[in-house]
Structure 1
Amino acid sequence: MDSIHVRDLRLWAHVGVLEHERRDGQWFRVDLTLNLDLSRAAVDDDLSASLDYSTSIKALQQLAAEIRCLTIEHFSEQMLNRLETLHGPVPIWLRLTKCAAPVPGFTGRVSVERRRHGGVTPTP
């Protein structure tokens, strides 16, 4: 299976358990992989035989501007729904990362990984 990868898409969204996270917003990072057969698009130079990744990026940017919710799990579910509406039931892998979790003394990141329709985790 071939893949289209989108990496390090930064989104500002109003998501979080704490009220100020939903009120003020914060940065998230998205990595996603869409698995599909790209051989016809490669041979024929035909975008209609592939997926236009720019529409995926725009759709996720629009979702981030609209959403207000508590959990990154719900945010990721809405992302998968949006991508499936756009591209149909293609295998999708998605990682949604909260760039600055408000946990005292914690400077790392928190992520959820989701798959739909057998989406394959990409190799590093």
Structure 2
Amino acid sequence: MSDELSVLGIECWAHHGVFEHERRDGQRFVIDLTLGVDVSSAAASDDLRDTIDYGSLVGEVTAAVQGEPVDLIETLATRIAGVCLLDARVEWARVTVHKPDAPIEATFGDVRLTITRHRTPTSPGKGEADDE
């Protein structure tokens, strides 16, 4: 059983999408993260080194979102999950990618995709994951 650490509403400007204007002009993406971690060591020590430094993680996730453009939010979410799983203390990562300004010819509130990835038992700390 793991505890959960969440960081919600990480806003990034990036150039992902299938259409040329999405790649050219960019748009807002919002990322929600929930990580499965055991926080008992950090709670006992009260030391940042014993837990996930979510400030640093947000910087790494932002860099991943703003990196090389991809067509699909499925690809982007998988990239983000891989970043989260680089820390060996993360047992699983749930990533939601919101694309609130998606090019849809209708009134809508949001487009979002949520994936959950687990650490592979053979490669702890390598950022590899199994699909759920």
TM-score by length of 2: 0.82
1:79 is matched with which residue? 80
- The residue type paired with residue 31 of structure 1 is D
1:91 — aligned with what?
A: 92
Distance 1:96 1:65 in 2: 13
Q: Which residue of 2 aligns with 1:25?
A: 26
Ranges in structure 1 where 5+ consecutive residues have no aligned partner = 119-124
> What amino acid sits opposite 1:82 in the alignment?
V
Give the structure 2 partner of residue 68 of structure 1. Answer: 69
Q: For the Cα contact (< 8 Å) 2:13–2:26, is it kept in 1?
A: yes
SS of the aligned residue for 1:112 comes to strand
Give, in whole Å, the separation in 2 of the partners of 1:83 and 1:38.
16
Structure 2 gaps of 5+ residues are: 120-132
| 1:39 alignment counterpart | 40
| Deviation string, structure 1 residues 39-73 (Cα, Å, up to 9, x no partner) | 12112102222111112100111122222111101
Q: Is the 8 A contact 2:96 2:115 kept in 1?
A: yes
Partner of 1:14: 15
How big is the shift at 1:9?
0.5
Q: Give me the CA root mean square deviation.
A: 1.5
**Residue 17 of structure 1, CA deviation:** 1.2
Q: Which has the higher helix share?
A: 1
Give the count of matched residue pairs. Answer: 117
CA positional deviation for 1:114:
0.6
Overall identity of the aligned pairs, in %? 32
Detail structure 1 runs of 4+ shifted over 6 Å in the superposition.
none
- State the TM-score, normalizing by the size of structure 1: 0.87
Q: CA deviation at 1:108?
A: 1.8
CA contact (8 A) 1:33 1:93 kept: yes
Residue 121 of structure 1: aligned partner: none
